[in-house]
Amino acid sequence: MEKPDWGQSLMVGNKSMDLEHRLQIGLIHALDEAIRAGQDREEVAKILSQLYEYTNAHFLAENLLMRLHAYPDYQAHADEHDRLVGSLESLRRTFDSGETGLTLDSIEALRNWLGVHIQGMDRRLSSYVAENGIPVSRRA
Ligand SMILES: [Fe+2]
Ligand SMILES: [Fe+2]
């Protein structure tokens, strides 16, 4: 797997979102590397679990940001987050079944999916927040 490109392609222009994406993609990359390097299952399971927990936390943060700004596309965006969490759960199952090749394929699919999500939905959210900076509760 190529190292994620942090040039411009995955930046959305929101400081905390960019930082969280960087960590999220970094964990996917670490997972891929650990499997390829033949690290023991316990180590891989640990990274997988960190990725799962971190992704959940990141999605909660984005969902909250959308709520705070009464983001019009909330539901579709949150539904996509739910789908990704579902993919992570199936990645966990694939890993538990011991299928290394399939696990690497699933990681690649996940990374691609995340790239599309970040460049599409997350970038639109970031632009919306930048243009409508004040949370609804603080608007006059
Ligand atoms: Fe995101
Ligand atoms: Fe998102």
Domain spans of the chain? 15-134
Distance from residue 17's CA to the centre of ligand 1 (Å) = 6
> Per-residue pLDDT averaged across 32-59, rounded?
94
Instruction: Compute the C-alpha angle 105/33/61, nearest 5°.
Output: 80
CATH number of 15-134: 1.20.120.50
Shortest-distance ligand to the CA of residue 58: 1
Alpha carbon distance 117, 25 (integer Å): 12
pLDDT category, 135, cuts 50, 70, 90?
low
Q: What is the pLDDT of residue 139?
A: 59
pLDDT category, 136, cuts 50, 70, 90?
low
Q: Which two tokens stand for residue 8?
A: 């411009």
Q: Which of 43, 17, 35, 46 is nearest to 100 (CA)?
A: 35
Ion ligand 2: residues, CB within 5 A, are 62, 122
Q: What is the pLDDT of residue 96?
A: 85
Alpha carbon distance 139, 42 (integer Å): 49
Distance from residue 77's CA to the centre of ligand 2 (Å) = 6
Q: What is the pLDDT of residue 6?
A: 52
pLDDT category, 138, cuts 50, 70, 90?
low
Shortest-distance ligand to the CA of residue 66: 2
Distance from residue 91's CA to the centre of ligand 1 (Å) = 19
Distance from residue 50's CA to the centre of ligand 1 (Å) = 16
Distance from residue 118's CA to the centre of ligand 1 (Å) = 6
75-110 pLDDT per residue, tens? 999 999 999 999 899 888 888 888 877 788 889 999
| Chain mean position to CA 111 | 8
Ion ligand 1: residues, CB within 5 A, are 122
Shortest-distance ligand to the CA of residue 10: 1
